[in-house]
A and B are shown apart, each in its own frame.
Chain A
Amino acid sequence: MKKSNGKTFKERSFGWIDERYDVTGLIEFAKKKSVPKFRETIWYYFGGIALLLFVIQVLSGILLLMYYQGTEDAAYESVKFISTKVSFGWLIRSVHSWSANLMVLAIFIHMFSVYFLKSFRKPRELTWYTGFILLALAMGFGFSGYLLPWNELAFFATKVGTDITRQIPVIGDSLLILLRGGEDVTGATLSRFFGFHVAVLPGLFTVFLVLHLMFIQRQGMAEPEDWRKLPESEKKQIPFFPNFTLRELLIWLIVINILAILAVFFPWELGNKADPFAPAPVGIRPEWYFMFMFQVLKLLPANILFLSGEFVGIAAFGIGIFLWFIVPFWDKRTPESRRNKAITYVGIFVVMFIIIFTILGFILD
């Protein structure tokens, strides 16, 4: 490299940018940033996996948008066109569908690992709240995206899914109209879901994702509870850059490989076009992450005391989800960061509950 004033071109270029944007400050920050190294470090990677899958979702979603048409007449045909005629369209669609499911799975694992490691405690309450909202938004992405191919299964699953909102007191009916764009699932529902899926949800998701990442960057990675009594010298740390980043990259590559294998060997089926006048087909079911709720509502009796079974179920889920959301608030030991086995037992119960009813949903189908 040609030298001028004793500096290489690379050094001069860096100096030019550094002078204007204080890159050295950023590098210093990255150098200082570290991640606790202990038995449970593996769980720290799932946030990153979810982020990777979200990026894949955005990129593959943009590509799908180039051909997808969100109308009742053209939606199914356009997805079919993407799958059969567009170069690599089948791969993009399959990757989009698979990564959506893997992303929800990664977020679930990330959430439960945070929960069991009690990382939601002070001072990370807001990180928990924003993370929870991101999970809800991801599920909203899944619910709205499920209808977009306008196939038989999605049509009826959306009908059943949106129908549940009727059970919400006072605002239930209005909410149903808002979601469906009318009394029934029609082309208006499709347009609405398309709008949610590509505009409303991505906008909200980006805001909460930025906040979530910002909180993490400001506070650093949570340390395990056991470390509170350890002297600083015994707390093992690995530098975030490059060690943790390279490890994350390695896991990302493995996830990409898994995603490619799933997309090629198990291409996402399209099924038959939705026909609002046809009888509901056998085996209507929601996406797997809604299955436990769907199955519980199915198993509940028609009436519990003087209330409808479905209402009781939805109310119970509503309360349960709300309590889960505000766990940093009701975990009394949060401020003291003391051990709380009750929290762990509640977590185990919730995980078992979700796993059992999800399996039952698929078995009893």
Chain B
Amino acid sequence: MLKILNKIVLLFLSAAFSLVVFAQSSADECLNCHQELDDELLMPAKNYVNDIHYKKNITCAGCHGGDATTDDDEISMSKEKGFIGVPDKTIRYEVCINCHSDEQTMKRYGSNLQVDQYKKLKNSVHFQPSYNNQGPIADCITCHSVHNIKSVNDPLSRVYPTKVVELCGSCHSSAKFMKNYTSSLPVDQVIKYKTSKHGMLNSKGDPNVAECASCHGNHDIYSINDTRSNVYATNIPKVCAKCHSDSKLMSKYGLPTDQYESWVSSVHGVALLEKDDISAPSCNDCHGNHGAVPPGVESISKVCGSCHVLNMELFEKSPHKKAFDENDFPECETCHNNHKIRYVTDDMVGTQESAVCMDCHSNEKDDKGYFVAGRMKLLIDSLKYEDKETKEILKDATQKGMDVSDAEFLLKDVRQVLIQSRTTIHTFNLDIFKESINPGFETISKVKEEGIAAVDDYYFRRLGLGISTIIVTFLVIGLYFKIRKLEKKS
């Protein structure tokens, strides 16, 4: 009984489906005719039945014009009926924006899609004229295809997250094509992307990981040097944070979500976002962009060293390198942190509580590191103190009207010595550190000597003036009495 009932239901559904298809096909006479044609004239009709527009009851005439209700091609494809044939490539986007930029039309078809795509696209880099003047570089059809357009949420759509990489790569991975526009743009983005965590998961069909459009945007893509671009240096952190600060999304991958928050207050975050220093590192500078991966313990110093070259070189020759490797300590990160990198101060080194050295070293007999850290701090503090004291001497001399500009100029070298010495700390070798900092003490001693000499000279001048004034005054008085005596006599 149940089997019979099932067969009846199946029969009924089949009949209903055939009726719907018949009703649709009978409404679009263009399709009916083209389905009976061959090759180029058949393909659009064959594909269109799977197109989302077909499902929304939009006939061929919706884009091509003409009258889809009659099978008389003299009428249906007549100019009087508005038939335009294949839209000209240079303006074919206008056919799309007729509906997609009109909120009322979109609502009529029951769509809740936004209607600002064209507005965004026309300012984007893709809407600039193509090298052969065949319309814009990329228009709606370039990405969404034609006659076979799917909803963006449809896994079969060309712009579905797992498909979009291939779509973008179809142009951006072609050196031959890209050089028509710029020879400086690389074409290895897709290759790199596939080696990244994002790319690997995307290849496995995960639509939630970042792909091209997640970072670069879709309709509103700008050159990376354009401040409006999502991937402009100062905008990147927020683009990454959109996903990486989303605890719900990140919980699927077991990733923390505090990176952005930590980075924003770091020395790098402040430099980039507050001081607009676009040379300061953002997420992609350390993690890579298309080939993004978290740096491993052993590669951290290479990442930091790409900017802090000298520090990396010194560290790699230092005794810490071996110790860190043996203990699996991430190199730079151990002392400086990763995302929340603090502004480096001299208090980071030394034997006081605030010093990072004390995280591993202690005041024990055989702990050489404790002694070295203490000495380094002492030397830096001494140089800073001497520098301050010398500046006071020079200030005093200047206030007394003495010219010590040469000494002041020389004293500027101490600042350079301090910078160099702070870098030399990464050798963690006291002898090398002393070699670096000692010229600072020598300069200070020279400058101080000049400053003191200037102050002494000031007093010497006054003393000299006093003595000479007294002598001359005595001479004046003597002469005065001599003249009086002389004139009395005469």
Q: Which residues of A contact B (CB under 8 A)?
A: 80, 83-84, 90-91, 238-239, 242-243, 246-247, 249-250, 253-254, 256-257, 260-261, 264-265, 267, 270
CB within 8 A of A246: which of B403, B461, B468, B486? B486
**Quick one: closest A residue to B469, CB to CB?**
A257
CA A250 to CA B476, docked complex, whole Å? 6
CA A264 to CA B490, docked complex, whole Å? 41
CA A292 to CA B397, docked complex, whole Å? 36
CA A68 to CA B475, docked complex, whole Å? 34
On whether A264 and B483 interact (CB within 8 A), knowing A84-B406, A253-B475, A257-B473, the answer reads no
Interface contacts beyond A261-B469, A264-B462: sample of 8 additional A-B pairs, CB < 8 Å, sorted by A: A84-B406, A239-B490, A242-B486, A246-B479, A246-B483, A249-B479, A250-B476, A260-B465
Q: Say how far A33's CB is from chain B's closest CB, in angstroms.
A: 15
- Secondary structure call for the A interface: helix
Say yes or no for B401: interface residue by CB 8 A criterion: yes
Taking CB atoms, residues of chain A closer than 8 Å to B405 are: 80, 84
Taking CB atoms, residues of chain A closer than 8 Å to B462 are: 264
- Secondary structure call for the B interface: helix
Q: Are B483 and A253 in contact (CB under 8 A)?
A: no
CA A131 to CA B472, docked complex, whole Å? 30
Q: Are A260 and B487 in contact (CB under 8 A)?
A: no
Q: Are B472 and A247 in contact (CB under 8 A)?
A: no
Q: Which residues of B contact A (CB under 8 A)?
A: 401, 403, 405-406, 461-462, 464-465, 468-469, 472-473, 475-476, 479-480, 482-483, 486-487, 490
Q: Say how far B488's CB is from chain A's closest CB, in angstroms.
A: 11
Kindly list the 4 A-B residue pairs having the minimum CB-CB distance in the complex, ordered from nearest: A264-B465, A250-B479, A257-B472, A84-B403
Q: Say how far A104's CB is from chain B's closest CB, in angstroms.
A: 23
Q: Say how far B323's CB is from chain A's closest CB, in angstroms.
A: 52
CA A239 to CA B483, docked complex, whole Å? 12
Q: Are A250 and B483 in contact (CB under 8 A)?
A: yes
Q: Say how far A94's CB is from chain B's closest CB, in angstroms.
A: 10
Taking CB atoms, residues of chain B closer than 8 Å to A257 are: 469, 472-473, 476
Q: Are B403 and A270 in contact (CB under 8 A)?
A: yes
Taking CB atoms, residues of chain A closer than 8 Å to B461 are: 90-91, 264
Taking CB atoms, residues of chain A closer than 8 Å to B403 are: 80, 83-84, 90, 270
Q: Say how far B397's CB is from chain A's closest CB, in angstroms.
A: 11
Q: Are B465 and A253 in contact (CB under 8 A)?
A: no
**Quick one: closest B residue to A242, CB to CB?**
B486
**Quick one: closest A residue to B465, CB to CB?**
A264
CB within 8 A of B479: which of A238, A253, A264? A253
CA A84 to CA B405, docked complex, whole Å? 9
CA A80 to CA B406, docked complex, whole Å? 10
Taking CB atoms, residues of chain B closer than 8 Å to A264 are: 461-462, 464-465
Q: Are B480 and A260 in contact (CB under 8 A)?
A: no
Q: Are B476 and A253 in contact (CB under 8 A)?
A: yes
Taking CB atoms, residues of chain B closer than 8 Å to A80 are: 403, 405
CA A279 to CA B401, docked complex, whole Å? 27
Q: Say how far A90's CB is from chain B's closest CB, in angstroms.
A: 8
On whether A267 and B483 interact (CB within 8 A), knowing A253-B475, A253-B476, A260-B468, the answer reads no
CB within 8 A of B472: which of A243, A246, A256? A256
Taking CB atoms, residues of chain A closer than 8 Å to B480 are: 250
CA A260 to CA B473, docked complex, whole Å? 12
Q: Are B469 and A243 in contact (CB under 8 A)?
A: no
CA A246 to CA B481, docked complex, whole Å? 11
CA A254 to CA B403, docked complex, whole Å? 29
**Quick one: closest A residue to B466, CB to CB?**
A264
Taking CB atoms, residues of chain B closer than 8 Å to A253 are: 472, 475-476, 479
CA A250 to CA B469, docked complex, whole Å? 14
Taking CB atoms, residues of chain B closer than 8 Å to A239 are: 490
Q: Say how far A238's CB is from chain B's closest CB, in angstroms.
A: 8
Q: Say how far A264's CB is from chain B's closest CB, in angstroms.
A: 4
**Quick one: closest A residue to B406, CB to CB?**
A84
For this complex, 19 residue pairs linking A to B, each with C-beta atoms less than 8 Å apart, are: A80-B403, A80-B405, A83-B403, A91-B461, A239-B490, A243-B487, A246-B482, A250-B476, A250-B479, A250-B480, A253-B472, A253-B475, A254-B476, A257-B472, A257-B473, A260-B468, A261-B465, A261-B469, A264-B461
**Quick one: closest A residue to B468, CB to CB?**
A260
**Quick one: closest A residue to B474, CB to CB?**
A253
Q: Are A267 and B486 in contact (CB under 8 A)?
A: no
Taking CB atoms, residues of chain B closer than 8 Å to A267 are: 401
CA A242 to CA B469, docked complex, whole Å? 24
Taking CB atoms, residues of chain B closer than 8 Å to A261 are: 465, 469
CA A257 to CA B471, docked complex, whole Å? 10
Q: Say how far A152's CB is from chain B's closest CB, in angstroms.
A: 15
Q: Say how far A61's CB is from chain B's closest CB, in angstroms.
A: 21
CA A3 to CA B50, docked complex, whole Å? 147
CA A277 to CA B401, docked complex, whole Å? 29
Q: Say how far B154's CB is from chain A's closest CB, in angstroms.
A: 67
CA A261 to CA B486, docked complex, whole Å? 30
Q: Say how far B417's CB is from chain A's closest CB, in angstroms.
A: 24
Q: Say how far B480's CB is from chain A's closest CB, in angstroms.
A: 6
A238, A247, A257 — which one has the most chain B CB atoms within 10 A of its CB?
A257
Taking CB atoms, residues of chain B closer than 8 Å to A91 are: 461
Taking CB atoms, residues of chain B closer than 8 Å to A250 are: 476, 479-480, 483
CA A249 to CA B468, docked complex, whole Å? 16
**Quick one: closest B residue to A251, CB to CB?**
B476
**Quick one: closest B residue to A245, CB to CB?**
B483
Taking CB atoms, residues of chain B closer than 8 Å to A238 are: 487
CA A237 to CA B487, docked complex, whole Å? 12
CA A239 to CA B490, docked complex, whole Å? 10
Taking CB atoms, residues of chain B closer than 8 Å to A242 are: 486
CA A265 to CA B466, docked complex, whole Å? 11
CA A90 to CA B462, docked complex, whole Å? 13
CA A27 to CA B173, docked complex, whole Å? 111
CA A264 to CA B405, docked complex, whole Å? 19
Taking CB atoms, residues of chain A closer than 8 Å to B468 are: 260
Q: Are B486 and A243 in contact (CB under 8 A)?
A: yes
CA A267 to CA B487, docked complex, whole Å? 40
Q: Say how far A189's CB is from chain B's closest CB, in angstroms.
A: 26
Q: Say how far A239's CB is from chain B's closest CB, in angstroms.
A: 8
CA A243 to CA B403, docked complex, whole Å? 45
Q: Say how far B355's CB is from chain A's closest CB, in angstroms.
A: 43
CA A342 to CA B473, docked complex, whole Å? 43
Q: Say how far B171's CB is from chain A's closest CB, in angstroms.
A: 50
Taking CB atoms, residues of chain A closer than 8 Å to B486 are: 242-243, 246
Taking CB atoms, residues of chain A closer than 8 Å to B465 are: 260-261, 264-265
Q: Say how far B452's CB is from chain A's closest CB, in angstroms.
A: 15
CA A267 to CA B398, docked complex, whole Å? 13
Q: Are B479 and A260 in contact (CB under 8 A)?
A: no
CA A83 to CA B476, docked complex, whole Å? 30
